[in-house]
A and B are shown apart, each in its own frame.
Chain A
Amino acid sequence: MAADSQNAIVLTPSAADRDPVKYNRRRRALEISLAIAVPVVLLIILQLGADRKWWSRIFYPSVTDVVRELRSMFVDRGFAYDIWVTVKRLLLGYVFGSLVGLLFGFVLGLNRLTRKALEPILNALYTVPKIALLSPLLIAFGFYDKPIVVLIAITVFFFVWVPTQAAVMSVQSSFREAATVFGVNRWQMFRHVMLPATLPSIFVTLRVAISVAILTVIGVEFVFAPEARGLGYVINDARATLTSRVAWAGILIASILGVSFTSFVRLAERLLLPWNKEDQGSKD
């Protein structure tokens, strides 16, 4: 019988089971410190590599170089104005494009006839590289901000329309039927069922669309920048002056823009969707 007990598999509580409170606290502390430590370590490596000449400072400037450059850009060329014109184009294009994309997503998702009428055309346009539209848009809207905003809006529109329509069409049929049996009208169906049912995937879409909008605005400003201003213009211009510091400074600002907008959309999501599962774990 003794041999039996030696060959047994013994299952006992793990550390997480013995003291869940302490375990979770430690785990959380570890996660937060990792989230801070990894970027800090990367920055230190970037700094050290440039300082100790592990690589060429010309191509990959140190962190302090970039920060110094950034400061002089703000002072000497009024970099804040470059950022402002880019943000303005970005926001206008993003908001218009998203709104129209949502509208089309819902109308086409809910109404079969509209879908049959418009979907073939939209599908044909979907794969057109939108940047190719720049020249005709410039000619049509004049050589200033408007064509840039329109181009961003068109790009964002397609990114929002397609997933929104898919989300609308995949709403659980019994959600709709339950409302139908109670005799809802079109507006009530939208407000009580279709909109809340699709909001979680719409928010994912809206977050993805931010990066698309930033890509477009920077890309357009590479080739067309009224008054030689804008974040994209500055990054692209570094090529002419062979100052990679300037390009890196611009890229840094672009990524900060992206992070800020995404956090803003996330915040809106958390406020608007209190029932979404992600949050509930922490409450209960």
Chain B
Amino acid sequence: MTVKIQASQVMRYFGSTDNRVHAVGELNLEINDGEFVCIVGPSGCGKSTFLRMVADLIRPSEGEVRINSSKTRPASMVFQDYSIYPWKRVIDNARFGLDIAGVPKKEGNERALKYLAKLGLADRSRSYPATLSGGMKQRVAIARALAVEPEILLMDEPFAAVDAQLREILQEELLALWQADQRTVLFITHSLDEAILLADRVLVMSARPGRIIADITVPFARPRDPSVRSTAEFARLEGELRELLRHEVNSHLASIEEK
């Protein structure tokens, strides 16, 4: 297997020197091509910061993030707050990345529509986002990210804002979409259940400054079905992760009290 994303001795600080916050690091990790990796960790541990570095929205303060790709923009991103454009119709939102890449409009429409259809939104392609529910908006955001057929898909708590039932449906859709083309996915979540269901590997990050404290391989076979949730192995894994995180959050709280 080839390595797709490699972080070496990555550190990230925020703020000026006298008021500096050490947000991330030292971070060393490798993510293979075609791998689905979930990152879990306490709030503020720098998960999103790492994702933003891979997206080239921010740079590391020290070390390097290496992405093996011949493209200048190999990743696309799905944000927690949808961030689809209210001034564009659904189809224009889904086609946005293709427009920027200079794909002719006709071909762009076909490709955008293909992904909208996969996500059950073909009949809403002429609507404005204001008329859509939260779950539909997030589907548009996913279609927009997938339409450019990125080598790497970055997802920053994409299902955090949708309700529990819808979340399960979107997880299943994502499983099916991933199964079809097996892109490299970096997925941030707070939900351990979600992480185990979706991922090949779950990375557990420590409280700030965020480091990788556990790298757990999920043993379930692909294509994966949501029914794995009811297996004993699933429960055992979830318990193990919960224990790791509880310890992290507690030590973080203790360190705040000391200050």
By a beta-carbon cutoff of 8 Å, the part of chain A in contact with chain B is 172, 174-175, 177-184, 188, 192-193, 196-197, 199, 273-275, 277, 280, 284
A182 to B154 CA separation, bound complex (whole angstroms): 12
CB-nearest residue of chain A to B86: A275
In B100-127, the 8 Å CB interface with A consists of 100-101
Q: Give the shortest distance, in Å, between A168 (CB) and chain B (any CB).
A: 15
A199 to B88 CA separation, bound complex (whole angstroms): 13
In B52-89, the 8 Å CB interface with A consists of 52, 55-57, 72-73, 75-77, 79, 81, 83-89
Q: Give the shortest distance, in Å, between A136 (CB) and chain B (any CB).
A: 43
CB-nearest residue of chain B to A273: B87
**Which B residues lie within 8 Å of A174 (CB)?**
79, 81, 83
**Interface presence of B130 (CB below 8 A):** yes
Contact A280 B83 (CB under 8 A): no
Q: Give the shortest distance, in Å, between A171 (CB) and chain B (any CB).
A: 11
**Interface presence of B148 (CB below 8 A):** yes
Q: Give the shortest distance, in Å, between A49 (CB) and chain B (any CB).
A: 48
**Interface presence of B13 (CB below 8 A):** no
**Which B residues lie within 8 Å of A273 (CB)?**
87
Which residue of A172, A182, A199 is within 8 Å of B97 (Cβ)?
Answer: A182
Closest 10 pairs between A and B when the two form their complex, measured CB to CB: A174-B83, A196-B87, A183-B73, A182-B97, A275-B128, A182-B100, A174-B79, A181-B77, A178-B83, A275-B87
**Which B residues lie within 8 Å of A274 (CB)?**
128
By a beta-carbon cutoff of 8 Å, the part of chain B in contact with chain A is 52, 55-57, 72-73, 75-77, 79, 81, 83-89, 96-97, 99-101, 128-131, 144, 148, 154
A180-B76 contact given A193-B85, A196-B87, A275-B130, CB 8 Å threshold = no
A188-B100 contact given A174-B81, A177-B83, A181-B77, CB 8 Å threshold = yes
Which residue of B79, B86, B87, B130 is within 8 Å of A178 (Cβ)?
Answer: B79
Which residue of B84, B85, B128, B129 is within 8 Å of A192 (Cβ)?
Answer: B85
Contact A182 B73 (CB under 8 A): yes
Extra A-B contacts (7), CB below 8 Å, given A192-B99, A199-B87, A275-B87: A172-B81, A177-B52, A178-B144, A181-B154, A182-B100, A182-B148, A275-B88
A199 to B154 CA separation, bound complex (whole angstroms): 30
**Which B residues lie within 8 Å of A197 (CB)?**
85, 87
**Which A residues lie within 8 Å of B83 (CB)?**
172, 174-175, 177-178
Contact A181 B72 (CB under 8 A): no
**Which B residues lie within 8 Å of A182 (CB)?**
73, 76, 96-97, 100-101, 148
A280 to B56 CA separation, bound complex (whole angstroms): 37
A274 to B89 CA separation, bound complex (whole angstroms): 10
Contact B79 A277 (CB under 8 A): no
Contact A280 B131 (CB under 8 A): yes
A277 to B154 CA separation, bound complex (whole angstroms): 30
**Which A residues lie within 8 Å of B97 (CB)?**
182
A179 to B56 CA separation, bound complex (whole angstroms): 12
A277-B130 contact given A172-B81, A172-B83, CB 8 Å threshold = yes
**Which A residues lie within 8 Å of B52 (CB)?**
177
Q: Give the shortest distance, in Å, between B54 (CB) and chain A (any CB).
A: 10
A34 to B126 CA separation, bound complex (whole angstroms): 37
**Which B residues lie within 8 Å of A196 (CB)?**
85, 87-88
Can you offer 29 A-B residue contacts whose CB atoms are under 8 A?
A: A174-B79, A174-B81, A174-B83, A175-B83, A177-B52, A177-B77, A178-B83, A178-B144, A179-B96, A179-B100, A180-B57, A181-B73, A181-B77, A182-B73, A182-B76, A182-B101, A182-B148, A183-B72, A183-B100, A184-B100, A192-B85, A192-B100, A196-B88, A197-B85, A273-B87, A275-B87, A275-B130, A280-B131, A284-B131
A27 to B184 CA separation, bound complex (whole angstroms): 56
Q: Give the shortest distance, in Å, between A12 (CB) and chain B (any CB).
A: 29
**Which A residues lie within 8 Å of B73 (CB)?**
181-183
**Which B residues lie within 8 Å of A192 (CB)?**
85, 88, 96, 99-100
A177 to B54 CA separation, bound complex (whole angstroms): 13
Q: Give the shortest distance, in Å, between B150 (CB) and chain A (any CB).
A: 9
**Which B residues lie within 8 Å of A280 (CB)?**
128, 130-131
Q: Which of A184, A188, A197, A275 has the most CB of B within 10 A?
A: A275
